Structure 1
Amino acid sequence: MLTVLLYLLIMVLVGGLLYFAASMVFGRSEELPPLPAGTTATVLPAEGVTGSDVRALRFQQTLRGYKASEVDWALDRLGREIDSLRAQLETRVGPAPADRGEAADGSDSAEPER
């Protein structure tokens, strides 16, 4: 019985040492406090959005996924940036040919060849 108690004591000491070593190496796992109400960590530059800006987007998570207002804001902002870039391109190059007609839903409107 004394041997079992000694093994148990050694296991507790080894476990404690491993826990202490891991907490020293990896930190105390502190989490950042939540953002104040009405603020967001989602940011995009005022103009000149790049691919890395879009990849760096982070949204707050809620019970049912991402916060919809932040996603809507980001999509609206990116849509305005695309419209602005297309307008700049049209002023430099000219309007796109009318026969390129893409469907409004983004699907390919051309019939496949048989």
Structure 2
Amino acid sequence: MLTFVVFVVGLVLVGGLLFLGASLLLGRGETQPPAELDRSPVELPDDRPVTGDDVRALQVSVTVRGYRMTEVDWLLDQLAQTIDERDVEIAQLRAAQPREDPAVVDRAVTDEEDPGA
């Protein structure tokens, strides 16, 4: 009988310690507060459009509860590639588009607004 009591007490102690450890490590269901935007170490340029190199240069900080670094790195690589492809396509479209005289464009807009003129 004493062996059974020691076994049950030991089981309760081990279970309690495992529960306490998991609670401290994983949290207790609370949500994290929103990140303060002005305190983020991750910054993108404000004075020009973001390029693929800007995204590749990002360094996201890891916390105790962290993230999967390989997944985030893969995602950032995909985003950077998409931005590079977009920039190339925009440059090609701008190069192929004939430049119009601003005075002609303004006159056409004015004629559309006031057809009786």
TM-score with structure 1 setting the length: 0.32
Q: Which has the larger radius of gyration?
A: 2
TM-score with structure 2 setting the length: 0.32
Pick 1 or 2: higher relative contact order, CA cutoff 8 A, min separation 6.
2
Hey, which of these two has a bigger chunk of helix by percent? 2
